[in-house]
Chains A and B, each alone.
Chain A
Amino acid sequence: MLNLYLFQILNGLGLGMIYFLISVGLTIIFGLLNFVNFAHGAFFMLGCYLCYALLAATGQFWLALLAGPLAVAALAWGAEKLLIRRVYHLPHTFHILITVGVALILQESAIMIWGPIGKSIPIPEALQGVVAMGKFAYPKYRLFLIGFSAVIGFLLWLLLERTRFGALVRAGSESTEMVSLLGADIYKLFSLTFALGVGLAGLAGVLSGPIRGAHPFLGPEVLGIAFVVVVIGGMGSFGGALAGGLLIGLVQSLMTTIWPEGASLMIYGAMAAVILWRPYGLFGRA
C-alpha cells in the first residue's frame, strides 16, 4: 500500500514537472509581454506529434528531444514576427482571438497530417523497463522524465537569474519602456522570449509523448491546466510555476488512487483553495 503511494507520488512529480515546463513558458511570456497565449496548449500538442513523427522517421528519441522543441520554438518565432507582435498593443481580448486562431490552425493541421485519431508513441529502447529499488520498482522512462525536467528547470533558472538576457526579461516585466530607454531592442527580446516560452511547451510535449501519446485535441486540456498552474503560482513567477506545477501534478496523481472520479475536480479545488488563501497566487505580486 505504501509502495502504491510512493508510486503515485513519483508519477505526480513527473506529471508536475511536465506541467511546470508548460506553465513556466506561459508565465514568462505573460510576465514580459503581458500577452495571453491561448495557443500554448496547441504548441504542446505539436511537440507530442513531432516526437511521434521524428521517432517514426528516424527511430532516434534523442534527436526528437532536441529537434522537436527547436522546431516548435522556430515556428513560434515565425508566428510572433508575422502575427503576434501586431496585437501586443491591443487589449487582451485580441490576444485571445488571435492565439485561439493559431491554436485552431495547429489543431486542424495535426488532424490533416496525422488524422483525427491519436497516435501512441513507444518508449525509447534505452529507457524501457524498470529501476528496482529493493521491493519497489519504477519505470525508467518516468524517472528520466523527472531528472531531465529538473535539469532543464535548473538551466532555465540560470538563464533567467544569471544572464544579461534573463535580467532584461525580468526588467522588461516591470517596464518595457525603461528597458528600451537603456538601449535594449525590446522587439528582439519579445521574439526570443516568445520562442523560448513556446519552445518549453514543445519540449514538454515531446517528453510526455511516450507516456500519453499524441492526440489532436490535447491542446485545450493542457492549456486549461497550465492556466490553473499559473494562477496558483502567481502570474509571471518562475518559482510559482514550479510550485504550482508540482502541486497540481501531485494532487492529480494521488487523487486517481484515492478518489478517481474527483481527480479533475480536485485540481480546480486546489486552485480555489490557493486563491482564497493568497489571491495573487503562491509567489504572486499585487
Chain B
Amino acid sequence: MALLDVADIHSFYGKSHVLEGVSLQVGEGELVTLLGRNGAGKTTTLKSVTGVVRPRSGSVRFAGAETVGREIHEIARAGIALVPEHRGIFALLTVEENLRIAVRDGWWKLSDVYDLFPRLYERRRNGGNALSGGEQQMLSIARALLNNPRLLLLDEPTEGLAPVIVDEIVRVLVDIKRTGMSVLLVEQNLAVCEKLADRHYVLEQGRIVYSGSAAEFAADRSVRDRYLALDG
C-alpha cells in the first residue's frame, strides 16, 4: 500500500475548478516528482494534500487514513510536512526560533539540521527577514525536517536560486532520500528532477496526463516536448 494515495480529487478556488480528478501515489521511501507548466495545478495538489485547500470530492489517504476534512495541523501531525513555494519563513523570528517552533520528536534534531546546513548555524541569531533567498530555502527545508514527517512535500525548492545553491539543495535532497523519508517534489528544473526521482507525474490543466518511472521518462523524449517544452 502506498504511503500517500491521492484518488480522483477535485479542488476549487471559489468557482474556478483547478484540479479535475488528480490521482497519484507516493510509496514508502520513494521520491516522486510532479511536473507540469505554470498553472497546471501542482501547488494546488500539494495544498490539497496538506489540507490548506479542501478537495470537494475524491480522497487523500495518508498511511491508510483519510485526511480530507481534517484540520491542517492534524494532517501535519500525522506526518506530512510542506516546504511551500513562498518558503513561509517568519520574518519576526530568528533563524533558531523558526526551527524550534517546528521541533517534534523523531530522528531529526536541531543539531542534525545545523550539520546539514552549516550556514544556518552561522546565522541562527539573525532574523528571518535578514536571509538571502537560498538561506530562506535552506531554513524552510530544515524546519520541515524538524517536524520529522514521513512524507515531505517540496514546492519548487530551487526556483530563483543561484546554480551553486541549487547544487547544495540537490545534495541535501539526496541525503534526505537516503534516510528513507518519502518525498513528493514539485519542480520546474528537469535536470534536478532527473537526478533525484524514482518516478514522475506530469500534470496538465488539473489532470495527470503522464506517469512513468525515471527510466521510462528519460527514454521518452516526446513527453517533455508535449507537456513541458515551453517551460524551457
Contact = CB atoms under 8 A, between A and B. Distances in A.
Interface string A164-188: 1001101101110111111111110
Nearest to B76: A183
Interface residues on A, range: 10 to 19
Contacts of B72: 177, 180-181, 186
B93 A184 contact: no
Nearest to B148: A183
B119 interface: no
B71 A180 contact: yes
B143 A182 contact: yes
B77 interface: yes
Task: Report whether over half of chain A's contact residues are helix, strand or loop; otherwise say mixed.
Answer: helix
17 contacts: A170-B92, A171-B90, A171-B101, A174-B90, A174-B91, A175-B90, A179-B101, A180-B72, A181-B50, A181-B73, A181-B84, A182-B73, A182-B102, A182-B147, A183-B147, A184-B101, A186-B72
Contacts of B98: 171
B82 interface: yes
Interface of A: 164, 167-168, 170-171, 173-175, 177-187
Interface of B: 50, 52, 71-73, 76-77, 81-82, 84, 88, 90-93, 97-98, 100-102, 104, 143, 147
Contacts of A177: 52, 72
A183 B104 contact: yes
B73 A186 contact: yes
Given A170-B90, A170-B93, A173-B92, A181 B101 contact: no
A174 B93 CA distance: 10
A184 to B, nearest CB: 6
Given A170-B92, A181-B88, 11 more contacts: A164-B101, A167-B97, A171-B93, A174-B92, A175-B88, A180-B71, A180-B76, A181-B73, A182-B147, A183-B73, A184-B101
B88 A184 contact: no
B128 to A, nearest CB: 9
Contacts of A167: 93, 97, 100-101
A179 to B, nearest CB: 8
Which 5 residue pairs are nearest across A and B when measured between Cβ atoms?
A180-B72, A183-B76, A178-B88, A171-B90, A180-B73
